[in-house]
Amino acid sequence: MLVAVDCIIFGFDGQALKLLLVKRHIEPEKGKWSLMGGFVQPDESFDNAAARVLHKLTGLEDVYMEQLCAFGNPGRDPIERTVSVAFFSLIDINKYIQQISHEYHAEWFPVKEIPPVIFDHIQMIEMAKDKLRTKAAFHPILFELLPEKFTLPQLQSLYEGIYDASLDKRNFSRKILSTSLLVKQKDKEKETSKRGAFYYKLDRKKYLNKFNAFLNFIPNHHKLK
């Protein structure tokens, strides 16, 4: 029995939540869209194997990554019995897009427009989306997807993309500012509007202290649609 890892890589470009897929370069299903994955080496832990696969594709290290689930249906791979341990990671697209390896045909797709993918990868993706929604309601995890400076409209757009819902602007701003996680900057982003929106930065010290704290930022998030 072979053991592999697959990485569900989410990114945010300031407007939409996206997923990174690659074109599979071996049979079976050669040329079709796939998650980035690889086999676990004899001297590797699952976490180290996933970090290696992520680094090979993006050039990134020390990014947010979390083990999701093991997928072991006997028929999931038509060639050999393979168990895959899935991980999901969060990165800022604008900061790292130039580091993506050209060894693979990698492309970002909006999560609402994901093309057909191989094997059981769609199950992995849907499970990762559900996990992300649940965690984002109680933890400030989505800041891992944002650049160093961002606006409240960008942050709201990210939350709306996660939950596929429209959020009230004033209520959203009030709630997010009440967490005391953000530090207002003096400059504004003026590319998307004449008036402009102030930039904010994440207070990293408070972020680390509150990461495992119950925030309940999006109450009843399953009712937002």
144-223 carries CATH number 1.10.10.10: yes
For residue 191, the model assigns a pLDDT of 78
Helices (H), the chain: 46-58, 93-96, 121-138, 152-163, 169-178, 204-210
CA distance 211 to 67: 17
Closest alpha carbon to 19 in 102, 119, 103, 127: 127
2-137 carries CATH number 3.90.79.10: yes
**194 C-beta neighbours (distance < 10 Å), count:** 5
Binned at pLDDT 50, 70 and 90, residue 175 comes out as: confident
- Does residue 214 carry a pLDDT above 70? no
CA distance 24 to 212: 37
Give pLDDT tens digits for 59-118.
888 889 999 999 999 999 999 999 999 999 999 887 776 656 667 788 999 999 999 999
If you average pLDDT over every residue of the chain, what do you get? Answer: 87
Binned at pLDDT 50, 70 and 90, residue 164 comes out as: confident
Contact 40/122 with Cβ under 8 angstroms? no
CA distance 222 to 94: 30
Quote the strand ranges of the chain, DSSP E: 2-12, 17-23, 33-34, 36-39, 64-71, 82-92, 106-110, 149-151, 182-189, 197-202
CA distance 25 to 114: 19
Alpha-carbon distances of 127 from 124, 131, 139, 154, rounded to whole Å:
5, 6, 18, 25
What residue spans define the domains of the chain?
2-137, 144-223
CA distance between the termini of the chain:
42
For residue 100, the model assigns a pLDDT of 63
pTM of the predicted model, to two decimals? Answer: 0.87
